[in-house]
Amino acid sequence: MQKIFNPLFVAIAAICGILAGSIITERQGERITRTHKKLDNKIDMLLNLVNLQYVDKVDIDSLVEQSIPKILEELDPHTVYVPAKDLQMVNDELEGSFSGIGVQFNIQNDTVMIVSVISGGPSEKLGILPGDRIVKVNDTLFVGESINNEKVMHKLRGPKGTHVTLGVKRQSSDSLLTFDITRGDVPVNSVDAHFMMGNHTGYVKVGKFGATTYSEFVHALEELQEKGANEFIVDLRGNSGGFLEAASYMINEFLHAGDMIVYTEGKAQKRQDIRADGRGMFQQYPLAVLIDEWSASASEIFAGAMQDNDRGTIIGRRSFGKGLVQQQITLNDSSAIRLTVARYYTPSGRCIQKPYGDKSKYQQEVFDRYSSGEIYNQDSMKTSGDTVKYYTVGNRVVYGGGGIMPDIFVPYDTAYNSAYYTKLVNSGILYDFAFRYSDEHRQLFNSFGSYKAADEYLKKEPLFDRVLDFAEAKNIKRNLSQAEHSKRKITQLVRSYILRNIYGENVFYEVFHEDDPVVKEALKALKKGSK
């Protein structure tokens, strides 16, 4: 489920994704696993001594589990240990699918509420609908205060071909509905949205770089092209990265034969150049790329390749600054290490990795951009001390060592912010209100011919007053002056949430970006470039 948070909450969520990093290939990781599986060393000797000679009985497996992360902490911030119990879920995020029943859910009033049914998944085929409440799983009551996201995922996901029986309460039915679902492959989309902005501009929002991202991306571009798009906006804001290969294939669509995409190099990794093969279908289309402080890794590879080749305009704020590449190496017990094996360099030779000698400062660095005013003021933008000049193919000066600097800086939008608005967002009140509203009016929305007709209806509804009443009933004290200051932002976000619950992600972004200053700047840049 997607929610919109203030900068601090976005930061906390995004840092987890960025630390996972980019992965070159698992095949190389498997080779390393075989090479080092039988390595004897001082740590093995120590564990053996503790096991045989220590005064008390020790759980050696538990000791190893606790020790590995501490050892890896001495390396870079992106080398991490993934326990066996977490590996499948971690891999699912990038593999493009997982096995389950195919729904997005939210927990409301101690009940599992179906927010949307994933197209092509098992639940859609059986007729489960948004708004359904799951109250029984395998004939056992599944409601109450003990229900949480982890328990729901454990119950609903499972091996392909296995069965789960759901007892579902639907508003239009007096009796409980029973569905016997065979778990199957559920697609995980990494292109969050694509739609036309006006008659000629195609917008594509990429959430991560996974196994299916390239095919999703090209499909989105082709669909927009058929609708008349002759220029594109690629939105990588908040995208923490993923597979290097996916980013490279996507970049290849826009560059000419021989153009450098990226190169990687490490102590045990010879320099590897990745260049465009000239077969890209969108080489002549004007392009704008949107980034922010949470665009990391593969996102920075994409933005850096476009910038260094003078191929597109980079718009937004300085990116995260992660220029390290990981390989996933599977261990004997099916746990894994994501080990940093190389640095990547943009075509001009920049390594945009920011310093990580002091780990506490590294983790804090993006938060410091908020407190220092960097995200609000271009003059406060820093380069982590790197003053070396690099040059694009058009001889423009660019810098490395701390992220990709945008060609056009757009500050974080605070025009309608207030403490009251922040409290509404962070408490989840706006999201909860929108879910209840869409659930109660689902039949009405189904009668509209299009989302635009539904949106016109919502614009005439007293949503603002209803939200304030709803928040007050939830013990959030009304502050009318601050609420009035944030009224436009409150109502726009609520409309976006309501329409997404009915019509999906594309509509959410279409409505949410109506007043987006970064998107507006991208449209201006594309228009200027076409003259």
- Catalytic positions, written as ranges: 297, 308, 322
Q: How far apart are CA 294 and CA 526, in angstroms?
A: 24
The DSSP code sequence of 449-516 is SSHHHHHHHHHHS-HHHHHHHHHHHTT----HHHHHHTHHHHHHHHHHHHHHHHH-HHHHHHHHTTT-
Q: Is 300 exposed, middle or buried (0-12, 13-18, 19+ CB in 10 A)?
A: buried
**Smallest Cα–Cα separation from 108: which of 143, 137, 61, 154?**
143
Number of Cβ atoms within 10 Å of the Cβ of 146: 8
C-alpha angle 305-309-315 in degrees, rounded to nearest 5: 65
Dihedral, CA of residue 18, residue 21, residue 22 and residue 27, to nearest 10 = -150
User: In terms of DSSP bridges, do strands 201-206 and 111-117 run parallel, antiparallel, or are they unpaired?
Assistant: unpaired
Number of Cβ atoms within 10 Å of the Cβ of 459: 10
* 3-state SS assignment for residue 218: helix
Q: How far apart are CA 68 and CA 80, in angstroms?
A: 9
Q: How far apart are CA 350 and CA 406, in angstroms?
A: 14
User: From residue 412, how far is each of 2, 248, 300, 374, 516 by CA, in Å?
Assistant: 20, 29, 19, 9, 10
**Smallest Cα–Cα separation from 122: which of 188, 185, 212?**
185
H or E stretch covering 204: strand 201-206
C-alpha angle 305-397-319 in degrees, rounded to nearest 5: 50
* Exposure string over 378-415, b if 16+ CB within 10 A, otherwise e: eeebbbbebeeebebeeeeebbbbbbbbbbebbbbeee
**Smallest Cα–Cα separation from 322: which of 372, 362, 288, 358?**
362
Q: How far apart are CA 168 and CA 178, in angstroms?
A: 6
The DSSP code sequence of 69-134 is HHHHTTS-TT-EEE-HHHHHHHHHHHHSEEEE--EEEEEETTEEEEEEE-TTSHHHHHT--TT-EE
Number of Cβ atoms within 10 Å of the Cβ of 50: 13
- The HSE-up count of residue 284 (CA atoms within 13 Å, CB side) is 2
